[in-house]
Structure 1
């Protein structure tokens, strides 16, 4: 159900769940001014409607040995629909690619790739990315540090 009608209570539920998805139903209900049963019903509707896509744990990259964030700008030789689809299908299977966006401007795609070190990133480039047909160029920038990262949308 795209473009689900969301009211102020739904927005409060979404804000609270974004800040703490492990909040208990009774705490959430109290926070948004509902009893538990109507609150649970609203959550189910938000999930079924696709507004809430899922729940996940945010894991510290460095703690699991993946401190490198590489941002790769990809230019394709051709931008026909089947070429875009083929590229996107391949990228969607690579766990190293955390984000990939189809872009406007001089580059076709921007990807965020995580790696254990520069050698691991080089293997990713050589073993996966450069083996795709239709790649015209790859430009990579490496993050020196993270200033801000958030999964919380500014829902008003």
Structure 2
């Protein structure tokens, strides 16, 4: 982040809000011509600050209105076991996020499903079959208060 000047930061803020903005509009918004903005974009991509561009889908419009956080405790936390768990959890499409946690449990999953019945099915048929799980605790989200793409640049 130290290599980012205020113009780079402004470019990133604009792209987070609208990654499809035409280069001419982006250049106008940051007060530069197209060529230096294109060069900055290329540098931001090459250095890995910008890792890609994608469509952000609305889970609600897709009927995925149920969010549950699941704490997972493992029977084995050696590297091989963690790698096996990581590979297996990546294959479950309902897992929107998965974090290894330093604390009273080993992983936290964010599961998106249609409803409680769908969540129960995901737990029974997919989550509970993941390798090395000893226990899980589930917490149903009642309301999304803040849910956004990362924008603190």
Distance 1:69 1:57 in 2: 21
Distance 1:133 1:38 in 2: 50
- Check whether the contact 1:65–1:116 (CA below 8 A) recurs between aligned residues: yes
Distance 1:136 1:146 in 2: 29
| CA shift digits 1:5-46 (9 cap, x unpaired) | 322221111111111112111111111121011101211221
Unaligned 5+ segments in structure 1 are none
Partner of 1:19: 17
Distance 2:115 2:87 in 1: 25
Partner of 2:68: 70
Q: Which of 29, 32, 43 in structure 2 is aligned with 1:31?
A: 29
- Check whether the contact 2:89–2:130 (CA below 8 A) recurs between aligned residues: no
Q: Which of 108, 123, 126 in structure 2 is aligned with 1:125?
A: 123
Secondary structure in structure 1 of the residue aligned to 2:61: helix
TM-score, scaled relative to structure 1: 0.92
Partner of 1:135: 133
Q: Give how far 1:148 is off.
A: 0.8
| CA shift digits 1:44-69 (9 cap, x unpaired) | 22112211111222222121111111
TM-score, scaled relative to structure 2: 0.93
Distance 1:133 1:149 in 2: 30
Q: Give how far 1:90 is off.
A: 0.7
Q: Which moved more, 1:55-64 or 1:121-130?
A: 55-64
Cα RMSD (Å): 1.4
| CA shift digits 1:59-116 (9 cap, x unpaired) | 2212111111110010101111111111111111211111111111101111111011
Q: Write out the 4+ residue segments of structure 1 that deviate beyond 3 Å after TM superposition.
A: none
